[in-house]
Amino acid sequence: MSDETQELGITESKEHSPGEWYAEVVQKAGLADYAPMGGFIVTRPRGYALWEGLQNHLDGWFKQTGVQNAYFPMLIPESYLEAEKDIVEGFDPEVAWVTHGGHEELEERLAVRPTSESIITPFMSQWIRSHRDLPMRLNQWCSVIRWEATDTKPFFRTKEFLWQEGHTAHRDREGAWDETMTRLDQYERLYEDVLAIDVLTGRKPDHDKFPGADTTTSVEALMPDGKSVQGGTSHYLGTGFAEAYDVTYADEDEEEQLAHTTSWGTSWRALGALIMSHSDDQGLVLPPAIAPEQVVIVPIWQEDTREEVLEYCEGLQSDLEATGLSVNLDDRDERNPGFKFNEWELKGIPLRIEVGPNEVDDEEVTMVHRPDGENVVADRADLVSAVEDALDTVHAKLFAASEERLEEGVREAHGRADILGTIGQHGGYVKTGWCGEESCETEIKDQIAAEIVAVPMEDDEEHETPVHDTCGVCGEESVTTAYFAKSY
C-alpha cells in the first residue's frame, strides 16, 4: 500500500470506535466538513448529491399524492410563535433569535424557524375559505435551526439541518389521520426501498409528542451500535393548531367548521442513518437507489492494450447510460487500478466493473459488488440485464442485513433489572408491557438513558393486547406494549 492509499483509507474501526469511524467516513468519502461554528457542517457535493437523491424520491411521491411545494420566510415574528403556546414552550430553549437589523434593534424579535407551523398555518387560514379548498397540502424544503448544545455529529446532531416539512389541512379527523398515515408510509418506503434500511413504525407516548400534537408517529431505524434513530415523523395535530391560528372553512351548509391539520418531516438525519447502517472499514456503502453514481468502470491496461480496453469500456458506459444508469468511467492515466478500486470503495459506488484484455477477448465483464466484494462474470451481450440484476442484488443484500439486525435487535424483557441488563448488554429494542405512566420511562432513562421510542398504533394488536399483562417497570397493569431503546 502506498502512503497515498493509506491516507485515502479509513483507519478507525466501525466495531471498536464507531464514533471516530463515522466521522472519518463522512470526511474521507467527501460528504461533509466541520464548519467554523460548533454545531454546523459544510455539505460537500457528494454529500449534497445524497440529499438530492433522497429529495427526488420523496418529492415525487409527495406530488403524486396531492402535495404542492411552497416557501415561507426563515424568520418568524415572536408574536406568531406565541400564538400556539405549546410550540413556544416546546421549542423555547432551542430558538435562535434575530434582534438586530444592521445597527438597529428590531421592535419585535424574529425567530429563526425551528419548524414552520406558526408561519404556515396563519396563511393557510387566509387561503382556506370553503370546504372546496380542502384538503390543502403544502410542503417546503428548507433548513431549520435548533440551538442544542451538543457535540456535532454530521447529519445526526447539528444546530442547522436540512429537512422537508409538510403541512396540511383537512375537513375532518378521518382525512387528517389518513394523511398522517400516508406520509408515515412514504417515510417507511423511503427507508426500505431507497435507503435499504428496515424500520419499526409506531407512535410516541403522549408525553413525548410533538408540542401541541394529538398523535405523533415515527419510523425508527436500528443502527449497528444498538441505538435507534428517529427517521421521520408524521403528526396528526387535531384541531389545536387550527384553533390557535383560526383555520376554518364553510361546509356545504355554510356552517363554519374547524379544520384538522397535520405536519410531517424528515431530515438529513436519514443520511446519517444510511451512512451508519451500511458502511464498513473500507468506507461508504450506498444502495443503488440513492448512489449518485451506480457503476464505476475501471479499465486495466498495459501500454499495448490501452486502446482496445478503453474503447470496450466506452461501449459499456454508453450502453448502460442509455438505460438511465449513472456510470463513471475512471480512465485516469495517473492512477493504477488498485488505487482506483480503493477510492471507489471508499466513496461507496455500489458496483464496479473491471475490464482487462481478457474481458475484451472473451467478450465478458467482471462485476464486483461493493458490500461484500462478490465477483460475478457476465457476457458482454447481457450487459444491461446483468448490471440491473447485480444492482438489485446489492440492494437486497443491504436490506437483508438491516432486516436481520432489526429482527435480532428486538428482545422481550420484564422487570427493571431485566430491562436495564438487556439494553446494557445488547443495545437494540426492549419490548415490554407499559402502564402508560411517564415516571416508569423516567426511571429507565435516568439509569441508562434509554427511553420509549415507540408504542404500537392504537389499531395494532400489541397495543390492544400488550406483550406483558403488567408494566415491565412498576408491575401495575399494562395498557400497551412499549419499545425502549437508547437513541440518537
Q: How far is the CB of 23 from Zn ion (least distance, A)?
A: 38
Q: Please state, in angstroms and rounded to a whole number, the distance separating the CA atoms of residues 281 and 11.
A: 8
**For Zn ion, which is the closer residue by CB, 309 or 440?**
440
Determine the number of helices (DSSP H) and then strands (DSSP E) in the chain: 16, 23
What number of CA atoms fall less than 13 Å from residue 409's CA on the CB side? Answer: 25
**For Zn ion, which is the closer residue by CB, 391 or 440?**
440
Please state whether the peptide bond connecting residue 18 to the residue before it is cis, i.e. omega within 30 degrees of 0.
no
Using alpha carbons only, how large is the chain's radius of gyration in Å?
25
Q: Could you say whether residue 95 binds Zn ion (CB under 5 A)?
A: no
Q: How far is the CB of 478 from Zn ion (least distance, A)?
A: 8
Q: How far is the CB of 213 from Zn ion (least distance, A)?
A: 23
Q: How far is the CB of 435 from Zn ion (least distance, A)?
A: 3
Binding range to Zn ion, per CB under 5 A, among 30-38, 96-104, 189-197, 439-447: 439-447
Taking a C-beta distance cutoff of 8 angstroms, is the pair 473, 434 a contact? yes
Q: How far is the CB of 451 from Zn ion (least distance, A)?
A: 14
What 3-state class would DSSP assign to 177? helix
Q: How far is the CB of 455 from Zn ion (least distance, A)?
A: 13
Q: If we measure between CA atoms, which residue out of 147, 160, 396 comes closest to residue 269? A: 160
Please state whether the peptide bond connecting residue 135 to the residue before it is cis, i.e. omega within 30 degrees of 0.
yes
Query: DSSP H helical segments within 266-374, as ranges?
Result: 269-278, 306-321, 337-346, 357-362
Binding range to Zn ion, per CB under 5 A, among 8-16, 135-143, 250-258, 438-446: 438-446
Extract the runs of DSSP E, i.e. beta strands, from 75-210.
75-77, 96-101, 104-112, 136-145, 160-170, 199-203
**For Zn ion, which is the closer residue by CB, 405 or 414?**
414
- Tell which one of 87, 199, 386, 471 touches Zn ion (CB under 5 A): 471
Q: How far is the CB of 436 from Zn ion (least distance, A)?
A: 7
Q: Could you say whether residue 473 binds Zn ion (CB under 5 A)?
A: yes
Length of the chain: 488
Q: Please state, in angstroms and rounded to a whole number, the distance separating the CA atoms of residues 256 and 281.
A: 61
Q: How far is the CB of 69 from Zn ion (least distance, A)?
A: 44
Amino acid at the residue 264 = W
Q: Could you say whether residue 452 binds Zn ion (CB under 5 A)?
A: no
Q: Can you read off the three cell numbers belonging to residue 480?
A: 400497551
- Tell which one of 171, 474, 479, 487 touches Zn ion (CB under 5 A): 474
What 3-state class would DSSP assign to 53? helix
Count of residues touching Zn ion (by CB under 5 A): 6
- Tell which one of 327, 440, 444, 450 touches Zn ion (CB under 5 A): 440
**For Zn ion, which is the closer residue by CB, 22 or 484?**
484
Q: Can you read off the three cell numbers belonging to residue 354?
A: 473491471
Q: Could you say whether residue 467 binds Zn ion (CB under 5 A)?
A: no
**For Zn ion, which is the closer residue by CB, 223 or 471?**
471
Q: Please state, in angstroms and rounded to a whole number, the distance separating the CA atoms of residues 408 and 406.
A: 5
Q: Please state, in angstroms and rounded to a whole number, the distance separating the CA atoms of residues 345 and 196.
A: 18
Q: How far is the CB of 421 from Zn ion (least distance, A)?
A: 18
Q: Could you say whether residue 355 binds Zn ion (CB under 5 A)?
A: no
Q: 252-291: which residues touch Zn ion (CB under 5 A)?
A: none
**For Zn ion, which is the closer residue by CB, 276 or 473?**
473
Q: How far is the CB of 441 from Zn ion (least distance, A)?
A: 8
**For Zn ion, which is the closer residue by CB, 44 or 445?**
445
**For Zn ion, which is the closer residue by CB, 192 or 443?**
443
**For Zn ion, which is the closer residue by CB, 237 or 467?**
467
**For Zn ion, which is the closer residue by CB, 357 or 436?**
436
CA-CA-CA-CA torsion for 56, 58, 64, 66, nearest 10 degrees?
A: -120
Q: How far is the CB of 410 from Zn ion (least distance, A)?
A: 20
Amino acid at the residue 444 = I
- Tell which one of 237, 285, 435, 444 touches Zn ion (CB under 5 A): 435
**For Zn ion, which is the closer residue by CB, 412 or 437?**
437
**For Zn ion, which is the closer residue by CB, 106 or 474?**
474
Q: Which residue in the block uniquely carries the three cell numbers 443502527?
A: 223
Q: Please state, in angstroms and rounded to a whole number, the distance separating the CA atoms of residues 33 and 48.
A: 12
Q: How far is the CB of 205 from Zn ion (least distance, A)?
A: 12
What 3-state class would DSSP assign to 440? helix
Amino acid at the residue 13 = S
Residues within the interface to Zn ion (CB under 5 A): 435, 437, 440, 471, 473-474
